[in-house]
Chains A and B, each alone.
Chain A
Amino acid sequence: MKILVPIKRVVHYQAKIRVKADESGIETYNIKYAINPFDEIAVEEAVRLKESGLADEIVVVSFGVAECQEILRHALALGADRAQLYIHPDPIEPLVAAKCLEAVVKNENPDIVIMGKQAIDDDANQTGQMLAALLDWPQATFASSIQIENRQATVTREIDGGLETICCDLPVVITTDLRLNEPRYPSMPNIMKAKSKPLSIEEISSLQVSMTPHLVISKVTSPPERSPGVKLNNINELIDKLHNEEKVL
């Protein structure tokens, strides 16, 4: 069984996000990047499926700038077998990313695609579902547990109001939620080993997908700030404010 894990390079989750003065986007000068945390969970889950004998091969793929090699090497150090980078200089919107992934899936024929439920930069939460639709595959989003048996995936999903379990025929697209697993730290020997694992680099044009955007981002602004509040001295002052001034209690 083969697993494909698409991964995205995003601004590190601890980086301070500042909007550019000309409102053209966010300030990226000198900012730290990393693998999207939900995608790292997807890689970890794929590695666990391989370790339990259910998967034979894990392929990781990324679209973006040359620096995406770093996150692909990280995924190889976690236990993926080979990596593909398709070079594209600009941000890719979810529909176009899904079209590109569809082309990769047609080349690789995986049984399972596992990917993050959303990237923490554009927070779209779309690409996995769109890929499943384009392939006419079933989908299991927001996974907090995955069991594979008899060419079926039983997936518990984190939904509003509880946990839902569904069963999907393979091939399937699964998107990961936070509590699916806790990714390991790659060991030094595995980091060294990852350096010799295959990593192919091609222009994204080789996938023969139109990269023309459907969306235009006209500006990016800072969210309205809450005006700084006051610190009170005791509970009676607090209750007084809530009851008499704000009238919320």
Chain B
Amino acid sequence: MAVLVVGEIQNNALASATLSVVTAAKAFNTDIALLLASDDCSQLNSSIDGINKIIHVEHPDFAHPTAEALADLVMGFADQYQLILAPASTFGKNFMPRVAAKLFVPMISDVIEIVDVNTFVRPIYAGNALSYVQSLDQQKVLTIRSTAFSPAPESQSPVDIETYAWEGLSHPKSRFVKIEASNSDRPDLTSAKIVISGGRGLQSAENFQIIEKLADRLGAAVGATRAVVDAGFVPNDYQVGQTGKVVAPDLYIAIGISGAIQHIAGIKDSKVIIAINKDPDAPIFDVADYGLVADFFDILPEFEAALAELGY
């Protein structure tokens, strides 16, 4: 039995979610291979604690891989691995069900805990319940929720790197056209230590820029509720919640957020949650460790002064 981890790559570097998947893979106490498909693998040779080998696959199609290309690649390795793991990001969610269907085994999405080799815990109903799922098939295809597992550290000892030549799809039926990256120098929402999110209480895109400034000051990532994204104040990939991104920072700062169930589902694994809201009855106060009933803009000058004192 061995584990294949399909790594996610962003800007020719390993996405941090992949390191969390490696931690999850260690629960199986067996060999772990890390499959890295990119148009340029030259920067992808850092060793990670717990993995036995890295497989490099270089092909121009993997600059922006389609689900069909990734599934085809992974199928080339499937008979050597009993477990196939990837992050439960839009990367993993896109191609992993395709792999499972080709293998005709079920897939278990968004795993947050590995109870034993056959039993996995995953959230259902937007995180309002946890399901303990047992797979009856020998081979298992899992996506791992990265916020539930700490990232595996880099390792100093060198790791074997194999290369694999992928032929490409003989008749590709889909093609990459373009990507509009929401360009940001801020840390990634899912791996940031501090996240500041704004809700409907902010009322305008201009007010949201104040949140963004504050985030830059704290070195924080910026999130938003679905209402704010739908109103067009911020791009869609700011959305935090069950249907957006699930975050688990050390500090989550919720500003003008009422606390809809689906938003709370995306933040409740944060270490410390603070909420600032005018409405003393907002449900966000039921999950926040510390609450402040106030208009955010009234207390902003004090907040900024206090941060300056702390050296931010």
Residues of A participating in the B interface, judged by any CB pair closer than 8 Å: 11, 13, 17, 19, 26, 93-95, 98, 118, 120-134, 137-142, 144, 154, 157-169, 172, 178-179, 213-223, 226, 228-232, 234-236, 238-239, 241-243, 246, 248-249
Q: In whole angstroms, what is the CA distance A228 to B285 when docked?
A: 8
Residues of B within 8 A of A121 (CB): 124-125
> In the bound complex, do residue B174 and residue A125 qualify as a contact, i.e. CB atoms below 8 Å apart?
no
Q: Give complex CA distance A178, B227 in Å.
A: 11
Among B177, B194, B286, B306, the residue within 8 A (CB) of A166 is B177
Q: Do A125 and B291 form a contact, CB below 8 Å, given A166-B177, A248-B194? A: no
A220 touches B290 (CB 8 A): no
Decide if B176 touches A220 in the complex (CB within 8 Å): no
Q: Which residues of A contact B1 (CB under 8 A)?
A: none
Asked if A133 contacts B274 (CB within 8 A), the reply is no
Q: A130-B101, A218-B134 are in contact. Are A229 and B179 (CB under 8 A)?
A: no
Q: Given A123-B242, A160-B237, are A220 and B101 also a contact pair (CB < 8 Å)?
A: no
Contact B102 A133 (CB under 8 A): yes
CA–CA, A144 to B285, complex, Å?
A: 33
Contacts of B105 in A (CB 8 A): 95, 214
Q: Is the C-beta of B130 less than 8 angstroms from some C-beta in chain A?
A: yes
- B106 part of interface (Cβ distance < 8 Å): yes
> Is A239 a contact of B306 with CB atoms below 8 Å?
yes
Bound CA span A217–B251, Å: 34
Contact A126 B100 (CB under 8 A): yes
Q: List 25 A-B contacts (CB under 8 A).
A: A94-B106, A121-B125, A122-B124, A125-B109, A130-B101, A132-B98, A133-B98, A138-B174, A139-B174, A160-B245, A161-B237, A162-B181, A165-B176, A168-B174, A172-B173, A178-B230, A214-B105, A218-B134, A221-B129, A223-B268, A229-B287, A229-B288, A231-B291, A231-B293, A246-B272
Evaluate contact between A144 and B136: CB separation under 8 angstroms.
Answer: no
Taking the nearest CB of chain B, how far is it from the CB of A164, in angstroms?
A: 5
Partner of A17, one of B71, B93, B128, B230: B128
> Is B108 close to A, CB under 8 A?
yes
Known: A169-B174, A226-B273, A235-B299. A216 touches B125 (CB 8 A): no
- For residue B10, CB closer than 8 A to chain A, the reply is yes
Whether the pair A161, B182 counts as a contact (CB closer than 8 A) is yes
Contact B250 A248 (CB under 8 A): yes
Given A123-B125, A126-B97, A235-B299, check contact A94 B177 (CB 8 Å): no
CB–CB A93/B98 < 8 A? no
Distance in Å from the Cβ of B262 to the closest Cβ of chain A? Answer: 8
Q: A32 to B66, alpha carbons, bound, how many Å? A: 38
The answer to whether B291 and A218 have CB atoms under 8 Å apart is no
User: Please, which residue of chain B has its CB at the minimum distance from the CB of A249?
Assistant: B310
Query: Which chain A residues lie closer than 8 Å to B201 at the CB level?
Result: none
Q: Which of B96, B124, B136 neighbours the largest number of chain A CB atoms within 10 Å of its CB?
A: B124
Closest to A235 in B: B302
Q: Please indicate the chain A residues that have their CB under 8 angstroms from the CB of B299 in the complex.
A: 234-235
CA distance A83 to B34 in the complex (A): 45
Contacts of A127 in B (CB 8 A): 97
Contacts A133-B102, A137-B173 hold; do A231 and B94 have CB atoms under 8 A apart? no
When the two chains form their complex, are residues B236 and A166 in contact, meaning their CB atoms are under 8 A apart? Answer: no
Q: Is A239's CB under 8 angstroms from B287's CB? A: no
> In the complex the two chains form, what is the Cα distance from A11 to B129 in whole Å?
13
Residues of B near A241 (CB, < 8 A) are 290
